[in-house]
Amino acid sequence: MYIDKAEQPGPAVTAIDLGGTAMKGSVWDRAGRELLRRDRPTPVAAGVLAIVAAVVDLHHELVSALHEQDPELSVQALGLICPGLVDPRGGIALYSANLGWRDLPLRELVSAALAMPVSLDHDVRSAGRAEAEFGAARGVSEALYVQIGTGIAATLIIGGEVLVGSRGRTGEIGHVPARPDGEPCACGQRGCTETYASAAAIARRYRSRTREPAGLGVEIDAGIDAEVVIARAAAGDDAARQVFDEAIQALAIALAGYTMLADPELIVLGGGLSRAGALLIDPLAAELTARLTWREPPRITIGAFAADAGRRGAAQAALRLLSPAWQ
| Stretch touching its own copies by CB under 8 A, among 75-83, 110-118, 172-180, 238-246 | 172-180
| Minimum CB distance to its own copies, residue 219 (Å) | 31
Q: 323: Cβ–Cβ under 8 A, 6 or more apart, which residues? A: none
Q: Is 297 in the site for its own copies (CB under 8 A)?
A: no
Q: Is 212 in the site for its own copies (CB under 8 A)?
A: no
Q: 208: Cβ–Cβ under 8 A, 6 or more apart, which residues? A: none
Of 53, 60, 117, 141, the residue at the interface with its own copies (CB under 8 A) is 141
Q: Is 187 in the site for its own copies (CB under 8 A)?
A: yes
By three-state DSSP, how is residue 2 classified?
coil
Strand ranges across the sheet with 92-96:
85-87, 92-96, 101-104
| Minimum CB distance to its own copies, residue 193 (Å) | 9
| Stretch touching its own copies by CB under 8 A, among 43-51, 170-178, 272-280, 302-310 | 170-178
| Of 142 and 237, CB closest to its own copies | 142
Of 116, 130, 176, 199, the residue at the interface with its own copies (CB under 8 A) is 176
Q: Tell me phi and psi for residue 304, to 5 degrees.
A: -80, -25
What DSSP character marks residue 292? -
Query: Which pairs count as long-range contacts for 281-289, CB under 8 Å and 24+ apart, including other chains?
Result: 283/244, 283/245, 283/248, 284/248, 284/251, 284/252, 284/255, 287/248, 287/249, 287/251, 287/252, 288/252, 288/255, 288/256, 288/259
* Alpha-helical regions (H) of 186-308: 193-197, 199-210, 222-234, 238-262, 278-290
> How many binding residues for its own copies (CB under 8 A)?
46
Task: Give the contact letters, 237-256, x = binds to its own copies (CB under 8 A), - = no.
Answer: ------------x---xx-x
Residues 100 and 51: their CA atoms lie apart, in Å, by 10
| Stretch touching its own copies by CB under 8 A, among 3-11, 110-118, 269-277, 289-297 | 289-297
| Minimum CB distance to its own copies, residue 319 (Å) | 24
Q: Is 92 in the site for its own copies (CB under 8 A)?
A: no
Of 83, 177, 271, 303, the residue at the interface with its own copies (CB under 8 A) is 177
Of 16, 106, 178, 319, the residue at the interface with its own copies (CB under 8 A) is 178
Contact 268, 136 (CB under 8 A): yes
Residues 85 and 87: their CA atoms lie apart, in Å, by 7
Contact 77, 115 (CB under 8 A): no
Of 27, 58, 66, 154, the residue at the interface with its own copies (CB under 8 A) is 154
Of 132, 173, 243, 319, the residue at the interface with its own copies (CB under 8 A) is 173
By three-state DSSP, how is residue 254 classified?
helix
Of 12, 55, 81, 85, the residue at the interface with its own copies (CB under 8 A) is 85
Overall size of the chain counted in residues:
327
Q: Could you list the residues that contact its own copies (CB under 8 A)?
A: 85, 95, 141-142, 154, 156, 158-159, 161, 163-173, 175-180, 187-189, 249, 253-254, 256-258, 260-265, 291, 293-295, 298
